[in-house]
């Protein structure tokens, strides 16, 4: 299937999901935060359970960033970049990173529950709440951390 057809299928599937579940977030907003279109193109399909596919993508993005952030708090001693970046963050900064990871893990753990107990309304709530958390808390804190690291690497 061509990329254009796959993205049209995603658009149509998402519009149907919004009508049936009440998801308020736009596909464009989700794409900016969680790279939804890239994930669909990479996977090569739109799931017959689009809410679960979206929830899984959101959880994956949080986990990918959490893995990076975890390395700032507890660096791998064999990875010099992590060791150096970890030294750039003071103890209060590391506590803030751990708190951010913990708050995002609430969303990751909610997603795992959907695989055991699907609930379209809860999945819709998850999508909207994840986007709000990303925009209002996670992304601003992440940017602050990344700016600190960039400044330290610069000199």
User: Distance between CA atoms of 70 and 53, rounded to whole angstroms?
Assistant: 25
Looking up tokens 């998801």, which residue turns up?
23
User: Distance between CA atoms of 16 and 85, rounded to whole angstroms?
Assistant: 44
The alpha-carbon radius of gyration of the chain (Å, integer) is 18
**Nearest C-alpha neighbor of 69 from the set 130, 2, 138:** 138
State the pTM of this model: 0.95
- The string of pLDDT tens digits covering residues 55-101 is 999 999 999 999 999 999 999 999 999 999 999 999 999 999 999 99
């Amino acid at each position: 299937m061509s990329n254009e057809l796959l993205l049209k299928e995603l658009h149509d599937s998402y519009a149907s999901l919004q009508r049936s579940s009440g998801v308020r977030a736009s596909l464009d907003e989700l794409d900016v935060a969680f790279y939804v279109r890239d994930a669909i193109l990479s996977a090569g399909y739109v799931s017959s359970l689009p809410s679960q596919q979206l929830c899984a993508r959101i959880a994956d993005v949080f986990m990918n960033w959490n893995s990076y952030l975890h390395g700032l708090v507890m660096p791998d001693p064999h990875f010099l970049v992590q060791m150096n970046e970890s030294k750039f963050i003071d103890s209060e900064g590391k506590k803030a990173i751990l708190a951010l990871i913990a708050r995002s893990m609430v969303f990751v753990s909610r997603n795992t529950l959907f695989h055991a107990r699907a609930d379209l309304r809860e999945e819709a709530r998850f999508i909207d709440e994840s986007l709000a958390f990303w925009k209002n808390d996670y992304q601003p804190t992440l940017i602050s951390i990344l700016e600190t690291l960039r400044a330290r690497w610069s000199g």
